């Protein structure tokens, strides 16, 4: 295989003062990068699904503000004003996709960075902005390293728990690869790692209606990486499992509660139920930034509802109308899979497992690992 740098797609192209985002709405037929000049551009790109995937959303948001303040020599205000300006912009960016906890987590960490810069006797606003930019850039670098660790831990786990350690077929949902992260991917990163190790027989990806992230994006990545793959209709997953073609199911996450209940793309819950019935292990792959320890269970996760057009029109709302005029629509972007249906949660620090119950103790795991 070619080196990682030669093959991996990039949803985020950044250099100091410049940010371009791959317009994923136009994939796989057209490859177009949009210039992001400020937080208004960043907010629109996130809300309109130019960029998607919880890790990529957080990084794109952070960098859109970094680009905006890159050349702020003429900022008319004090250091305190600079901190207030950044905090207000971060709050604005968080409102673009409320279910993705990575975005809120990144905003909180960046607020802490600028507060620390202010407390360290910053003498001019420029130093506050510089501290912010450096922190945002670090998030971009850290995400790739985090994803590769998830791939390593995940591939090891799937091989250990598979009937045939050297020949696995894996089903995934939505898009969790390079296009959903800074590069490499979470659940798709595990599949990539299995392929690199020579043990992946086949990856199956669902089309992931109504926005078709599976057929448009995951299939695009798998073909690009020359990974053996097959696209299936969302409704074909149970039949595929019944035929014995799936050794494991692995998905990403937009938000994980402290007990392991996981919010992910709509249709994930259905896959988990099917996997349970067919005695196939179901895994979640996500960085610890996707875990919201303030939530005791998935019942507290707010589920975003998207425009009816995604169901009423072809191409996830971007094409011609196909639904009957006058029909009402329910279009939740996510569903919540109970922890009881999840065999393990794969993070960059290791695998969270259950201790004799249907729930995970992610709080203890996170405290132990972050403490190390």
Catalytic residue (one of 105, 254, 261, 292): 254
| Other residues' Cβ atoms within 10 Å of the Cβ of residue 70 | 16
Question: Buried b vs exposed e over 290-316: b needs ≥16 C-beta within 10 Å?
Answer: bbbeebeebeebebeebebbbbbbeeb
| Other residues' Cβ atoms within 10 Å of the Cβ of residue 244 | 10
Distance CA 370, CA 57 (A): 23
- Contacting residues for 13 by C-beta, under 8 A, at least 6 apart: 19, 20, 21, 22, 33
The total number of residues shown for the chain amounts to 372
Q: How many CA atoms lie within 13 A of 44 on its CB side?
A: 8
Does the active-site annotation cover 254?
A: yes
From first CA to last CA, the distance across the chain in angstroms is 35
- Contacting residues for 20 by C-beta, under 8 A, at least 6 apart: 12, 13, 14, 33, 34, 35, 36
Q: Which residues are catalytic?
A: 254
């Amino acid at each position: 295989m070619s080196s990682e740098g030669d093959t991996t797609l990039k949803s985020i192209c950044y250099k100091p003062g410049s940010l371009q985002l791959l317009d994923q709405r136009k994939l796989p037929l057209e490859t177009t990068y949009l210039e992001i000049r400020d937080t208004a551009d960043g907010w629109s790109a996130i809300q309109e699904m130019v960029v998607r995937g919880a890790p990529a959303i957080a990084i794109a948001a952070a960098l859109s503000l970094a680009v905006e303040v890159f050349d702020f020599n003429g900022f008319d205000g004090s250091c305190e004003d600079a901190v207030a300006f950044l905090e207000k912009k971060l709050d604005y960016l968080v409102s673009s996709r409320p279910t993705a906890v990575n975005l809120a987590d990144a905003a909180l960490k960046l607020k802490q960075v600028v507060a620390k810069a202010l407390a360290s006797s910053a003498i001019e606003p420029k130093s506050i902005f510089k501290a912010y930019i450096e922190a945002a850039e670090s998030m971009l670098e850290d995400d790739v390293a985090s994803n590769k660790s998830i791939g390593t831990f995940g591939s090891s786990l799937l091989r250990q728990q598979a009937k045939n350690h050297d020949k696995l077929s894996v089903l995934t949902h939505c898009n969790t690869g390079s296009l959903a992260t800074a590069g490499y991917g979470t659940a798709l990163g595990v599949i990539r790692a299995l392929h690199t190790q020579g043990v992946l027989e086949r990856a199956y990806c669902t089309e992931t209606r109504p926005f078709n992230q599976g057929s448009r994006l995951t299939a695009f990545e798998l073909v690009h990486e020359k990974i053996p793959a097959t696209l299936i209709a969302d409704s074909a997953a149970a039949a595929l499992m019944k035929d014995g073609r799936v050794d494991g199911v692995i998905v990403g996450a937009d938000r994980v509660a402290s007990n392991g209940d996981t919010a992910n793309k709509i249709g994930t819950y259905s896959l988990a139920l099917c996997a349970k019935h067919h005695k196939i292990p179901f895994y979640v792959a996500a960085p610890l930034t996707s875990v919201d320890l303030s939530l005791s269970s998935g019942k507290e996760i707010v589920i975003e509802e998207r425009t009816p057009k995604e169901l009423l029109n072809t191409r996830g709302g971007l094409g011609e109308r196909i639904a009957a005029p006058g029909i009402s629509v329910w279009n939740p972007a996510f569903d919540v899979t109970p922890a009881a249906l999840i065999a393990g949660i794969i993070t960059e620090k290791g695998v969270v497992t259950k201790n004799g119950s249907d729930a995970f103790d992610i709080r203890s795991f996170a405290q132990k690992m972050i403490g190390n």
